[in-house]
Structure 1
Amino acid sequence: MEFSRRNFIRLGALSSLSSILFTKASAESFIQKDSFNSEKDAFKLGMAGYSFVNFNLDDSLKMMKRMDIRYLCIKDFHLPLNSTAEQVAAFHQKLSGANVTGYAVGPIYMTKSKTEIDNAFDYAKLVGVDLIVGIPNKEDLEYISKKTEEYNIRYALHNHGPEDKLYPNAKSIYDLINHLSPKMGICFDMGHNMRDGREPSADLKSYHKRIFDIHLKNVTEATEKGSTCELGRGIIDVPKFVKTLRSVGYAGKCSLEFEKDMKDPLAGIAESKGYFQGVCDAVK
């Protein structure tokens, strides 16, 4: 890493400060006053909806509003797949009230039948997003490729690490889709990629033209035993990753997915956001 001693100390201080301040009454004002989603970078910070699996939509949006995170990948436990147009309109109204935009739906599992695929595309169209994050069967990829062209909706396959026999890492997805529609891509989970022994920055550089979405997280080990953790505490070189995002001109969302302490995630998400912003501010 090409960091000066001053920047290195600054990053450490920022990460520690975000944790300390969040435990005090002034946490909300500290978090709200920053504005990560500036025009400095083409990529924007978001939240992967799965982080809020234990919370209803209202409480999830309260957390996002406190942290000034403005983009959400929508999960079906907040907006069911069988929602009506009226329910979708009410959902978007709630998001708007929190200054949040739903930019994608998923991950959605669709491994039982093509009907699940058809329903997912109808759902995305009704919700009004242009990106589905999904986990399909390999034999359905050609069918999905045609659907992306028919609906003009992109489809990003999510990698889930060494336990995932379908799509463990970004390369496994790229090798299956590189000959298909350019609307077929990858939701790049950098943590699971690392757990499968593949360095995230290298794979981002190699496959960036097909990476439509990124799940930001860190992990404790580059093995199946590795667990997810706060962004600044794991083994992934986040400053290098940010430099790679800029060098390849990535213009999608980088969505925090916090899978540690999922019944009490706010402090960890805030720490991760503070660290990521500190890195983005310090890296040249």
Structure 2
Amino acid sequence: MTTRRDANLSRRGLLGGGLAALGALAVGRPLRAGGIGAAFAKAPFRLGLQSYSLRGYKVDGKSSLEKALAVSNALEIRNWEVYPGHIPITADADVIRKTQDELKKAQVDVVGYGVIPFKKGDPNNRKPFEFAKAMGIEYLSADPDPDSFDELDKLVEEFGIGVGIHNHGPGHRYDLIDVIAKAIKDHSPKIGCCIDAGHFLRSKEDPVRAAEVFGKRVFGVHLKDVKDATTFTILGKGDLNYPGLFKVLAANDYTGLVALEYEENEENPADDIRVCLEEALKALEPN
């Protein structure tokens, strides 16, 4: 895949030059006049990033929250669904407070968290909910065992935190819209779907239909594009009808998070993420 490397963000400059290089990423190159925050403020829902997109910014072989936040801040992204590689689940109040301070400094709100598993009878099932409550997280994207839903019913009601079943491509147990709809049918309305648009395309399903089917039970959207059900690509280069998806979400009064998740160019995705955000903004501009 051809990538855009015209910014001051070579792998050597990024990982060798440290946070100064990260912080300089967007200098003089606003996505829109007034910045992305001003442009996205007009959207009917929150727009942001699944932090998995920034997993390639590492320290000692591990994804670095500090570096990911620096890139996110430079791109003026204010909302995240965070993946556990950036912020592991913990019950340590001091660690949670320090993490919240770091997020606040970077002007990032963590709206969602995942993807995480749930198993029937597992005492660890409470931990993500306790962590989310302490962090102020609104929903968990999840891959629960089918026999764990009765337990999840109780947990989502107790904590007031939604669970979105994450579809994960062809052959996954929740790869199809109707399979997820059947799984959640007789369970709490706080259990729904985290729509991964790219993986639905890979499964030859229509993400727009997913938004129609799940309606008020959409807990998170992973915005990613795929070409010919095989190749992840920049938003607008694949087959995703994202204007149609946005239209249905808005019609359903969805006010949750639409998180761009860009899986390509792992070590240096920032410029590609910028292009994807530009495409999302174009789809939200008045005709």
TM-score, scaled relative to structure 2? 0.83
For the residue of structure 2 that corresponds to 1:234, the secondary structure is: coil
> Cα deviation per residue 1:30-62 (whole Å; 9 max; x = unaligned)?
236232564423211111121122330111111
1:31 is the counterpart of 2:30: yes
> What is aligned with 1:219?
226
> What is aligned with 2:278?
274
1:230 is the counterpart of 2:234: yes
Shift of 1:245: 2.4
8 A contact 2:113–2:141 mirrored in 1: yes
> Cα deviation per residue 1:220-273 (whole Å; 9 max; x = unaligned)?
123xxx121111111112222222222222211100111011111111111101
For the residue of structure 2 that corresponds to 1:30, the secondary structure is: coil
1:114 is the counterpart of 2:122: yes
Between the aligned partners of 2:162 and 2:26, the Cα distance in structure 1 is 38
1:91 is the counterpart of 2:99: yes
> What is aligned with 1:141?
149
Query: Which is worse superposed, 33-42 or 60-69?
Result: 33-42
Unaligned runs of 5+ in 2: 10-23, 58-63
8 A contact 1:102–1:129 mirrored in 2: yes
> What is aligned with 2:165?
157
Between the aligned partners of 1:27 and 1:54, the Cα distance in structure 2 is 19
> What is aligned with 1:79?
87
8 A contact 2:46–2:256 mirrored in 1: yes
2:159 aligned partner, one-letter code: Y
> What is aligned with 1:254?
258
1:167 is the counterpart of 2:174: yes
> What is aligned with 1:40?
42
Q: What is the count of residue pairs matched by the alignment?
A: 262
8 A contact 2:49–2:77 mirrored in 1: yes
8 A contact 1:168–1:196 mirrored in 2: yes
Between the aligned partners of 2:162 and 2:96, the Cα distance in structure 1 is 20
Shift of 1:26: 8.5
Between the aligned partners of 1:130 and 1:198, the Cα distance in structure 2 is 27
> Cα deviation per residue 1:121-157 (whole Å; 9 max; x = unaligned)?
2222222223111111001011111111112211111
The 3 A distance-change label for structure 1 pair 181 and 193 is: same
Between the aligned partners of 1:70 and 1:58, the Cα distance in structure 2 is 15
Shift of 1:75: 1.9
Relative to its length, the structure with more helix (as a share) is 1
8 A contact 2:40–2:281 mirrored in 1: no
Between the aligned partners of 1:135 and 1:77, the Cα distance in structure 2 is 16
8 A contact 1:205–1:244 mirrored in 2: yes
TM-score, scaled relative to structure 1? 0.84
For the residue of structure 1 that corresponds to 2:37, the secondary structure is: coil
Which of 129, 132, 138 is the equivalent residue of 1:130? Answer: 138
Between the aligned partners of 1:90 and 1:37, the Cα distance in structure 2 is 30
Between the aligned partners of 1:252 and 1:232, the Cα distance in structure 2 is 22
What is the alpha-carbon root mean square deviation over aligned residues?
2.3
1:201 is the counterpart of 2:208: yes
8 A contact 1:37–1:44 mirrored in 2: no
Identity %: 26
> What is aligned with 1:6?
none
For the residue of structure 2 that corresponds to 1:28, the secondary structure is: coil
> What is aligned with 1:51?
53
The 3 A distance-change label for structure 1 pair 26 and 177 is: closer
The 3 A distance-change label for structure 1 pair 21 and 281 is: farther
> What is aligned with 2:73?
65
